[in-house]
Structure 1
Amino acid sequence: MEERKTITTEQGTRTSITWQCDDILLGHAVSTFKEPISFSGSSQADVVRMHFGMKGNYAFSYKQLDKTYDLIGGHHNIMYSKDFDITVYNKTLVLETFGIQFPSALFIQYTQHANDSLKRFAEAILAGKNVMLSEQWGAIDSPIQQVLQQIIHCKYNDDLKKLFLLSKSIELLVLCAEAYENTRQEQFVKNKADKEKLIAVRDLINERVQDPPNLTQIARIVGLNEYKLKRGFKEIFNNTVFGYLSEQRLHLAHRYLQDTRKTAAEISYELGYATPQHFSNAFRKKFGFTPASVRNNP
């Protein structure tokens, strides 16, 4: 079941879409505010919440954990409490979020024999504790971002769409658990200001995939030296700046092939490849099939 909503108030507009797949609920929302405000939310549903902040900076107070988290664009975590009461304070005028809710019993069934971090999390739920998977929120890296985009732009219908969304929910759970293990090993990026700048680098690349600045220009734009830019980006996003850009280009190309009638040659030039052959080789290496096969086998 899919539901779309647009709510406009004096404070701004919120556009959302939710998908109900058996007992799992997925949702994507974009909120546009006229000014910084605070707003509250609550729920009594006995669910585990996966939260992804895709764009925008905000803080939120979580009553059941008695903590406030100060968050910058591009983060994720998993949380559980029997009741759920939060107050959000937006710092930017646009917030984009994504969430998945698993019934607690189903989540335990999936995770009680998973990796150590998920097993501990499941044990805490069984013990009736209010818990966050990690006190340090993970960054949305390229694999997580691509799955989020695949869900948001899903073209399937009916039962096939349901199967797709269910599989992607589990994939995100695995990716987030894996990212948590990597987050605990961060050593180089130790202050919030540098992390904000590195997330700004990622956002800059996403916005300028078709005409990206070079490393020197990026460093100057965000105010980091190239050494800190390269090492910090690799630590947070588990990829080099160039590697991340390459992945974004190829996934965008895949979407163009599915959603438009542009030729592979047109797409290759639009995304900055030197030649269509260079694009085709990179595409095959990434996905294991040629650009032409995307349209031959939709």
Structure 2
Amino acid sequence: MEDFHHNFHLFFDEFGLQQQRSYGSEPMTVQPQIGSGTLHRLIPRPDLDIVFEDLTFHSDFLMPLTTKTPMVELHYCMQGTRVLHVERNQYEFVPGMCVLQLVDEGSVQFEFTGNQPYQALSIGIPISTFHHYMEDYSGARNTDFSSLLGRKPFRLFQESIDPAADVIIRRLTQSVQSCRMKNLELESSVLELLWSAFQSFLFEPKLLRLSTMDKQKLQRARDILLERMANPPSLIELSRMIGLNDNKLKMGFKELYGTTVFGYLREKRLEKAFLLLQQGDLNVMETSLTVGYSNPSSFSEAFRDKYGVNPGHLRRRSF
């Protein structure tokens, strides 16, 4: 089996942490000269690496890393923000976000904000295990790591943490802190999180039977997203506002509009930003805030990915 654990070893080495075990449970304390907090690593079996992060850095912390082995990582951000730089792209991890990452060999850089607690759960598996999970009982497989990744060294899928996953994460965190969890419970909980993420990001959803009332509620959800573009509700808040459970909201919205709830919001934000920049009344910073991006760099990167031009260049061309 490929040693995907090496990527995690490199991550811990950058914190100045010494790993003593290659299996089991290992809590590690951050070096006091850079910050405070712990990273709790669990390796219940050879093809599974689980890390709970609870960190605070004294100042902004940049950490370069070169991954040596392809892997799949599922990351849940519960508190704080983290930015990941890959080639000329950057990705912001914010509270309440679930991120599925396909990672090939290559160089990345992590950016942590100083004096801000960062709490997260990461689950890593090797490519062989990922392919095993993608197979049906007959051995057939329609989803392949290389096909999903293409020619890029990195691919990311993201959406809000759904309520069911949030319950599992909280239970895992509490059990690990109290050291009261059997491997069976740990592994089954992690597999449930992986299944939920794969189903959401990688598998085609089964068509729902949407009633006229359901469609009206989903249209209302769309209208709310557009009305509150700069400060949208969470998925669970939106589901309550329209009177649908969160699962039917997610699945029904994708069936009706061809994308996820927050994928739709992202597209509409960028479309509005394009119009605002063409009008020329707002600068790039003001435009990014108007459409709901708190980080102008993340906005510029998303805008460039969609339209192939920097937002600043578009605004200058409008005069």
What band does the TM-score fall into relative to the shorter chain?
A: 0.5 to 0.7
Q: Distance in 2 between matches of 1:40 and 1:238?
A: 39
Please give the TM-score of this superposition, normalised by the length of structure 1: 0.55
* Amino acid paired to 2:225: V
- Partners of 2:244 and 2:92 lie apart in 1 by 20
Distance 1:194 1:13, change over 3 A: same
Aligned to 2:155: 132
**Which residues in structure 2 correspond to 1:107-256 (within 5 Å)?**
107-113=130-136, 119-120=142-143, 122=145, 124=147, 130-132=153-155, 134=157, 137-154=158-175, 161-180=182-201, 187=222, 188-189=224-225, 193-195=230-232, 198=233, 230=241
Q: Choose the corresponding residue for 2:111, options 78, 82, 89.
A: 89
> For each residue in 1:192-218, what CA deviation from the matched residue of structure 2 results, as whole angstroms up to 9, or x when unmatched?
7424xx35x98xxxxxxxxxxxx9xxx
**Alignment check: 8 A CA contact 2:105 2:153 kept:** no
The match for 2:89 is 67
1:42 aligns with 2:63: no
CA apart distance, 1:107:
0.9
Distance 2:121 2:133 in 1: 21
| Structure 2 runs not aligned, ≥5 long | 1-23, 206-217, 251-319
Structure 1 position 106 matched with structure 2 position 129: yes
Check 1:82–1:146 CA distance in 2 against 1; reply closer, same or farther (3 A cut): same
Structure 1 pair 111–148 and aligned structure 2 pair: CA distance change class (3 A):
same
Letter matched to residue 80 of structure 1: L
Note the alpha carbon deviations across 1:28-86, whole angstroms, 9 max, x for none: 011112333433333313321111111112322123xx421123211112222332532
Give the structure 2 partner of residue 55 of structure 1. 79
Distance 1:121 1:148, change over 3 A: farther
Q: 1:58 to 1:43 in 2, by over 3 A?
A: same
The alpha carbon displacement at 1:163 in A equals 1.8
| 1:36 partner amino acid | D
Shift in Å at residue 180 of structure 1? 3.6
- Which of 31, 42, 45 in structure 2 is aligned with 1:19? 42
Question: Aligned residue pairs: how many?
Answer: 204
Q: Does 1:5 align with 2:53?
A: no
Gaps of 5+ in 1: 203-214, 216-226, 240-298
Aligned counterparts of 2:244 and 2:153: Cα–Cα separation in 1: 32
Residue type matched to 2:112 in 1?
A: N
Indicate conservation of the 8 Å contact 1:125/1:131, yes or no: no
In 1, distance between residues paired with 2:132 and 2:41?
24
For the 8 Å contact 2:57–2:113, the answer to whether it is kept is no
Call closer, same or farther: CA 1:55–1:179 in 2, change over 3 Å: farther
**Is the Cα contact below 8 Å between 2:239 and 2:246 reproduced in 1?**
no
Residue 90 of structure 1 deviates from its aligned partner by 3.0
What amino acid maps onto 2:89 in structure 1? K
Distance change >3 Å, CA 148–CA 102, structure 1 → 2: same
d(CA) in 2 for partners of 1:71, 1:236 = 23
Partner of 1:97: helix, strand, or coil?
A: strand
Distance 1:5 1:237 in 2: 40
Contact between 1:55 and 1:96, CA under 8 Å: does it hold in 2? Answer: yes
Distance, in Å, in 2 between the alignment partners of 1:33 and 1:229 is 37
Distance 1:19 1:46 in 2: 20
Counterpart residue number, 1:249: none
Change (3 A) 1:34 1:21: same
Match of 1:32 in 2: 56
User: Which residue number in structure 1 is paired with residue 7 of structure 2?
Assistant: none
